[in-house]
Every structure is written in C-alpha cells, then in structure tokens.
Amino acid sequence: AQSVTQLDSHVSVSEGTPVLLRCNYSSSYSPSLFWYVQHPNKGLQLLLKYTSAATLVKGINGFEAEFKKSETSFHLTKPSAHMSDAAEYFCVVSDGGSQGNLIFGKGTKLSVKP
C-alpha cells in the first residue's frame, strides 16, 4: 500500500532564505510523486510531479524536488523564499493507476517572515 509522510507540520523561514519541505513515501510500485500547494481559501495547485523520468524535477515558482529511491524521499526545495510562498504544501503519491488513487500527506504549513 502507498503512503506518504510529511516530516514537518510547520516550517518557518525568513524571506530570502532557502526552503526545505520534507517528504518520505512508501510504495510497492514505482511511484508517481507530486507536490501541491494550497493558498488560504484557494484550491490546490500542482507545483511539480515525478513520473520516473529525471530524478530532479523542476516546478513552478522556482521550486524543485529530488526523487531519491534509496532514501524513499521526495523533498521540496527552493533557494530563496518569497512572502508569496506562505501556504500549505502537500506531498502526494500515486500508484500510477486510475487518477483517483492519490494519497495525500498531512501537509506542511510554510510561514515566511519578512
């Protein structure tokens, strides 16, 4: 069975400093992995996805994530945080089957201090 664990429920950084949001997954298949962002009172937006191509995945707004099979991790990073990055981030795993088989992590709330 697939599962995903987001290691931090809340991360706080200062504007201009790097962002690291951690995610570990468990999958008996070759997984597809996603990061979504949810701003307050908004729907979810896809940041990036890994689908067994390049292990370093670049997404929107300067975010990227690296798939590490040996560590079963898919951490999200950004070199320099902006105030607009403050939101909740979800790591998601799929077994590659029907679209509905998305397993969401509990989310990491990112705060950005001026």
* For another protein, the closer CB: 53 or 83: 53
* Residue 62 burial class via C-beta count within 10 angstroms: exposed 0-12, middle 13-18, buried 19 and up: middle
Please choose, from the candidates 80, 12, 15, 87, the residue with its C-alpha nearest in 3D space to the C-alpha of residue 47.
87
**Judged by CB under 8 A, which stretch of 19-27, 57-65, 67-75, 101-109 contacts another protein?**
101-109
Query: Contacts with another protein in 71-90 (CB under 8 A)?
Result: 90
Positions that interact with another protein (CB under 8 A): 32, 34, 36, 41-46, 49, 51, 90, 94, 96, 98-107
